[in-house]
């Protein structure tokens, strides 16, 4: 919690899923980007075979279909990689409870321990930093901040967009609110 903002590593995560329920569904794609001191320095991106049929509405939204994930690793196969990549770093996502729930569900399905990482939510930060913006969802927020998402509703595109938002938000927190460490970010959000 007392790690300085410049020394802390934030792992920005985005998942595409078969629906809204962790119990009944699964991840179809995951992207994780490591951010430290304003730079993205590592990434992991993978399709994931949810071992259930992907509903048409999800395929229409994401472009991910059953054929695309047929040869992808299952939750059990990708869980140890996710756990290792996350390590003890700060789990960061836009609408973090959603992504966190699905990542934890994947870890449990893969016989890994659930996460205990600190969680930062860029949507919560947006509510405090951009209160007049009518919608805090990823698309309108990115547009308002001049960030272009080249792959909307795909894990890599949304994670990259979220990482750019995080970098700008951390800069603002430091410069405008004198937030110098992770604990300050946690209190602010």
**Looking at the annotation, which residues are catalytic?**
153
Nearest-5° angle of CA 47, CA 104, CA 83?
70
Distances (CA, A) of 86 to 31, 51, 104, 148, 176: 11, 24, 12, 26, 29
CB 34 within 8 A of CB 41: yes
Instruction: Report the phi/psi class of residue 126: left, alpha or beta, with left for phi > 0 and alpha for psi in -120 to 50.
Output: alpha
Structure tokens at 30: 């995951």
Cα of 111 vs its chain's centroid, Å: 21
Give the tokens for residue 150.
Answer: 């080249």
Cα gap 94→12, rounded to integer Å: 9
d(CA 140, CA 16): 19
How many whole angstroms separate alpha carbon 107 and alpha carbon 115? Answer: 8
């Amino acid at each position: 919690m007392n790690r300085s903002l410049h020394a802390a590593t934030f792992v920005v995560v985005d998942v595409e899923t078969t629906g809204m329920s962790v119990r009944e569904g699964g991840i179809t794609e995951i992207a994780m980007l490591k951010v430290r001191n304003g730079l993205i320095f590592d990434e992991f991106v993978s399709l994931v075979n949810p071992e259930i049929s992907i509903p048409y509405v999800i395929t229409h939204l994401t472009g991910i279909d059953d054929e695309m994930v047929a040869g992808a690793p299952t939750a059990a196969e990708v869980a140890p990689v996710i756990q290792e990549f996350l390590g003890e770093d700060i789990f960061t996502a836009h609408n973090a409870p959603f992504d966190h729930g699905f990542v934890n569900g994947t870890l449990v399905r893969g016989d890994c321990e659930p996460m205990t990482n600190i969680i930062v939510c860029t949507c919560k930060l947006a509510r405090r930093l951009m209160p007049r913006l009518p919608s805090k969802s990823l698309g309108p927020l990115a547009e308002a901040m001049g960030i272009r998402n080249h792959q909307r509703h795909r894990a890599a595109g949304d994670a990259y967009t979220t990482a750019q938002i995080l970098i700008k938000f951390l800069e603002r927190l430091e410069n405008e609110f004198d937030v110098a460490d992770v604990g300050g970010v946690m209190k602010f959000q």
